[in-house]
Amino acid sequence: MSILETALTIAAGQHGSLAVRQLTREGATEGEIRHLVDARQFLRVTPVVLRRTGTARSRGQELVEAVLDAGEGAALSHLPGTAWWRLPVRPGGIEVCRLRGAASVPPRLARVHELRSFPAHHRTVYRGVPVTVPARLPFDVAAVAPSQAAKVLDRAWARGLVTSRL
């Protein structure tokens, strides 16, 4: 499979965008990645994020690009995470969680919360965007909008996204 085919496959599952690190993990060289941009197959959104040329802009694409820009293991969180799960309590800018020290690059597309512990089971991919799991969202929201946390929990419970099972 060519690097272009690999890039298209990755981007297809991520609203038309991908991280440079995803291509390098698949064996792409800096020159091959530069060629994808020079040939106008992809646009460089940030130094670490590429977008497929000609894709329609969407909220999902904006969110996935912010998560990819935040680094490996990042996930949409807090109030925008509730909106992505369709549990909105009020609008907010893009917020992303990542493990503290996981990336040395400052974020360009989102407010990043660096956590001391961010286990893999606290993240999932929902509708093509890496996002924190619903059970974590009330805690994330409590950190930035304490009065909204109970609403998030109630709405997640009503939709069956969280349960009392241990």
pLDDT for 105:
75
pTM higher than 0.75: yes
Can you state the angle between helices 149-158 and 137-144, rounded to 10 degrees?
A: 160
Residue 166, pLDDT score = 63
φ, ψ of residue 50 in degrees (nearest 5): -120, 150
List of residues 6+ apart from 136 with CB closer than 8 A? 77, 122
Query: What 3-state class would DSSP assign to 44?
Result: strand
CA angle 6, 111, 139 (to 5 degrees): 100
Q: What is the per-residue pLDDT across 90-132, written as a single tens digit (0 to 9) for each?
A: 767 899 999 998 766 788 899 999 999 999 999 999 999 999 9
